[in-house]
A and B are shown apart, each in its own frame.
Chain A
């Protein structure tokens, strides 16, 4: 197995939530490296802290202690605004429930992250059309989310996630709400993003079929990352 540089480096990460005056530990001493251009699946029972870990990698939640370095940047040291700016160019998100803005068309949804860049209208149009072509939805650009199937909506969401060309995509149960055929389409698409566009994908999933697609599967149980690393390539 060739050694790749780690794009994500997590060291001694702790995270807990407060509920009232009770402190609930969620993640305990997580240390994890994820190589560049990796497709990693994160599995584990419900409530084990998968989403929390994903959110911390993506910079939308704060660690209690430990460090999260992405492409050499320790994102735990960034300010709120610094993080927002960082997210807009370094991370793409894919959610279980697609989370498109219902009043915007497929095109406009995919364009949304580009509004924060300095791109001209014309350049944005080119990027969005390209992204929608990759997810095979060129003929649905003017459709609203309610006019699309679940699988199609998730493909729009994926286009939105990589339209800014981030190195890393995080996906929280991306096939959790889809039928088997649509799920396969989404997984194939994610695989292509890794192989053809060189993305690194970290995917939380319950679905063994989804995990099969990944190069690496890590298990999280009660906030502790299992040591054994399964490689399924």
Chain B
């Protein structure tokens, strides 16, 4: 126990040096945590997407539509459970910088296909009844202070004009990873308008979402769907929602890889800083370690003191860094909610923080400990005075 006391006293011997090192580790762990969270936020869409849902889109490009009539044909393909459809509306709320993902959807099926969006029966019925209504995610409603019954006006970018929707429901995400920032309204409402203004776009949808009876057969079903529309006016590409989302993410993969590399570089840098601190410390104490050896303390005691001190300093920094990561991630997530609808610190990130800290603490102490253990007592004593 007394040895532990010595360990702690040693750790805070050079208050300034220890504080600066602890501060460095705190910042490194914070940076590491935020960078990892950015990476996971990047993949949040992929993570939360389902392997049992397929997305069928126009084979030329997502910006080309598909005829609504495909719905019945898809439904008849074996292995298909439900079919829903949606069109990316791209409306702007008040100003361009308020990005809200908004879709015209099939109100009757949307909540069947996306069970992770939880809406009360009352609100769901109210939404279905009111043709000019919409449903929004909890986060976005909170952000703009929307309440049930409010009228929300979106300015169309793809479909011109101001569009008014009455908020009839606020959905909650079933999981932490569920996106609570989206807004849905009636595809029928959009379609009626298009019938008057842009007849060639009427009765067309952006994509179909298909629920399969057995996820293991998802690729067979996808192939069957695409085969059905082969050589028709609008050929299709069907893939799992995950692959579909991944398609978006992979366009930016290089950035993600860069962020990931930087997060590890941060750890390597702090490892060098920590190693320097420990090398300085152990060099100064060579004489003291020699005294302890003289008294009969063995190499393991000395190594234990150095490793222990390194780990104490590292883990104090780590604890502070983790404590700072949550508020920092919240603030960052709020400020960046437009780009990262999901910005949660993952538990794995915390585990990685701890693992990285452990490695830093050990690696930083290896060389100083080895030297302190190896130096002969006679040599160590000669360094005193």
A binds B: yes
Instruction: Return A144 CB to nearest CB of chain B, in Å.
Output: 10
**Judging by beta carbons under 8 Å apart, are B381 and A95 in contact?**
yes
**Judging by beta carbons under 8 Å apart, are A99 and B377 in contact?**
no
**Judging by beta carbons under 8 Å apart, are A103 and B296 in contact?**
no
Q: Which residues from chain B sit less than 8 Å from chain A, CB to CB?
A: 1-3, 5-6, 9-10, 13, 287-288, 291-298, 376-378, 381, 384-385
Contact of B377 among A60, A111, A121, A160 (CB under 8 A): A60
**Judging by beta carbons under 8 Å apart, are A104 and B384 in contact?**
no
* A112 on the B face (CB < 8 A): yes
A48–B109 Cα gap in the complex (Å)?
98
**Judging by beta carbons under 8 Å apart, are A115 and B2 in contact?**
yes
Contact of A111 among B2, B13, B296 (CB under 8 A): B2
Closest residue of chain A to B380 (Cβ to Cβ) is: A60
Stretch at the interface among A67-75, A84-92, A196-204, A217-225: A84-92
7 A-B pairs with least C-beta separation = A88-B296, A103-B9, A60-B377, A61-B378, A113-B295, A97-B385, A87-B296
- Most chain B Cβ neighbours within 10 Å, of A95, A99, A121: A99
Secondary structure call for the B interface:
helix
Known A88-B296, A97-B385: A104·B378 in contact at CB below 8 Å: no
**Judging by beta carbons under 8 Å apart, are A99 and B3 in contact?**
no
For B298, list chain A residues within 8 Å (CB): 81, 84
**Judging by beta carbons under 8 Å apart, are B2 and A99 in contact?**
no
**Judging by beta carbons under 8 Å apart, are A113 and B296 in contact?**
yes
Query: CB within 8 Å of B: which of A94-110?
Result: 95-97, 99, 101-104, 108
* A162 on the B face (CB < 8 A): no
For A81, list chain B residues within 8 Å (CB): 298
Contact of B291 among A52, A99, A108 (CB under 8 A): A99
For B295, list chain A residues within 8 Å (CB): 87-88, 93, 112-113, 116, 160
For A95, list chain B residues within 8 Å (CB): 291, 381, 384
* A55 on the B face (CB < 8 A): yes
Known A101-B6, A103-B6, A115-B3: A84·B297 in contact at CB below 8 Å: yes
**Judging by beta carbons under 8 Å apart, are B378 and A108 in contact?**
no
- Of the A-B pairs whose beta carbons lie under 8 Å apart in the complex, a sample of 22, sorted by A's number, is A60-B381, A85-B296, A87-B295, A87-B296, A88-B295, A88-B296, A89-B296, A93-B295, A99-B288, A99-B291, A99-B384, A101-B288, A101-B291, A103-B10, A103-B13, A104-B6, A108-B6, A115-B2, A116-B295, A116-B296, A121-B1, A160-B295
**Judging by beta carbons under 8 Å apart, are A99 and B293 in contact?**
no
Secondary structure call for the A interface:
helix
A44–B2 Cα gap in the complex (Å)?
40
**Judging by beta carbons under 8 Å apart, are B384 and A97 in contact?**
yes
For A113, list chain B residues within 8 Å (CB): 295-296
A104–B305 Cα gap in the complex (Å)?
14
For B292, list chain A residues within 8 Å (CB): 101, 112
Instruction: Return B129 CB to nearest CB of chain A, in Å.
Output: 76
For A111, list chain B residues within 8 Å (CB): 2
Closest residue of chain B to A112 (Cβ to Cβ) is: B295
Instruction: Return A116 CB to nearest CB of chain B, in Å.
Output: 5
Instruction: Return B298 CB to nearest CB of chain A, in Å.
Output: 5
Closest residue of chain A to B9 (Cβ to Cβ) is: A103
For B296, list chain A residues within 8 Å (CB): 84-85, 87-89, 113, 116
A104–B2 Cα gap in the complex (Å)?
10
For B6, list chain A residues within 8 Å (CB): 101, 103-104, 108
Instruction: Return A125 CB to nearest CB of chain B, in Å.
Output: 11
Knowing that A55-B381, A112-B292 touch, tell me 12 more A-B residue pairs with CB under 8 angstroms: A55-B378, A60-B293, A60-B377, A60-B378, A61-B376, A84-B297, A88-B296, A93-B295, A99-B384, A101-B292, A111-B2, A112-B2
Instruction: Return B382 CB to nearest CB of chain A, in Å.
Output: 9
A97–B385 Cα gap in the complex (Å)?
7
For B378, list chain A residues within 8 Å (CB): 52, 55, 60-61
Closest residue of chain B to A108 (Cβ to Cβ) is: B2
Closest residue of chain B to A115 (Cβ to Cβ) is: B2
For A104, list chain B residues within 8 Å (CB): 6, 9
Instruction: Return A206 CB to nearest CB of chain B, in Å.
Output: 15
For B376, list chain A residues within 8 Å (CB): 61
**Judging by beta carbons under 8 Å apart, are B10 and A99 in contact?**
no
For A85, list chain B residues within 8 Å (CB): 296
**Judging by beta carbons under 8 Å apart, are A99 and B287 in contact?**
yes
For B1, list chain A residues within 8 Å (CB): 121
- Most chain A Cβ neighbours within 10 Å, of B1, B10, B291: B291
**Judging by beta carbons under 8 Å apart, are B384 and A116 in contact?**
no
A85–B10 Cα gap in the complex (Å)?
24
Instruction: Return A16 CB to nearest CB of chain B, in Å.
Output: 13
For B9, list chain A residues within 8 Å (CB): 103-104
For A112, list chain B residues within 8 Å (CB): 2, 292, 295
